[in-house]
Amino acid sequence: MLVSTLAMLFAKNQKVVAVDCDADAPNLAIWLGEPENWKEVKKISVSEKPIINQNKLTKKEAKQCVKKCRFNALLFTAQGKLKLNPFFCEGCGACEVFCPKGVVKMKPVKNGEIRTKNTKYNFPLVSGQLFPGETGSGKMVDQIKAEAEKFNHDLMLIDSAPGTGCPVIASLRGSNFVVLVIEPTPSGFSDLKRVLKVVNHFNFPWGLVINKWDINKELSNRMEKWSGNKFIGKISYDKQIFKAIANLKPILETNLKVKTEITTIYNKLKNNFEF
């Protein structure tokens, strides 16, 4: 919600490219009201899977290979064959090393796709997604950002996945400013401090936005005081937001309170921070 609205606002005066780097659950296109009609969709590979040559494998060797896979992705079938469960496989390549020479060969697989389009709001959108059960979200984010760099832009707005994992670190890499969005819950406050360890490690300047601040006003006020001059703004909880997104209606095209709140955040970012 925040990135989609900020992209629409910044695009009024700057060349913007919006990038959805939540490789497991991208939804920026939905918040922009444009989930379909992509200009280009291309399948890519960010992982490898083992190809098994059954002719070079005895039953005894097959059983030994199964034991070497720590992810239980290799199975010994009733027919005496070695079989791969692709949903368990992490693509680590251990089987190629520990199985007899020539039995297993790691090969790239098309396990994700990158989609691009020109939105009706006068800026391009780049989005990527791993296929179900696939791994390599960090590498996927690198590919998504590389695709976004092909567009002429003054400002790249990246919608990251939550947490502190590989896709988040890949999203942060090369950033000029980080907007941390948090909800006022004890776990949310804990997660904020965890992601700040990553942000501060790389010396990224940052600011804080509290989402659904009014579900716990006491904790919201504590977070705001804790963040000091890093505080950028807050967004209220409103069930109408979910109705708007269900109808593919961007926030800027509504008369909801959140429209004013995000516009205030935009003005503070534009006037007080350098990107």
- pLDDT score, position 36: 93
What does the alpha-carbon distance between residue 122 and residue 8 come to, in Å, rounded to a whole number? Answer: 8
Nearest to 90 by CA among 110, 65, 70: 70
Cβ–Cβ under 8 Å, residues 156 and 171: no
Residue 92 has pLDDT above 70, yes or no: yes
Query: Which residues have a Cβ under 8 Å from the Cβ of 27 and sit 6 or more positions away?
Result: 20
Residue 5 has pLDDT above 90, yes or no: yes
Quote the pTM value.
0.86
> pLDDT (tens digit, 9 = 90+) per residue, 208-258?
999 999 999 999 999 999 999 999 999 999 999 999 999 999 999 999 999
Kindly list the distances between the CA atom of residue 186 and the CA atoms of 208, 217, 222, 230, in Å, as whole numbers in the listed order: 16, 13, 11, 19
What is the pLDDT confidence band of residue 274, given thresholds at 50, 70 and 90?
low
All structural domains of the chain: 2-45+112-272 (3.40.50.300), 47-109 (3.30.70.20)
Residue 80 has pLDDT above 70, yes or no: yes
Residue 99 has pLDDT above 60, yes or no: yes
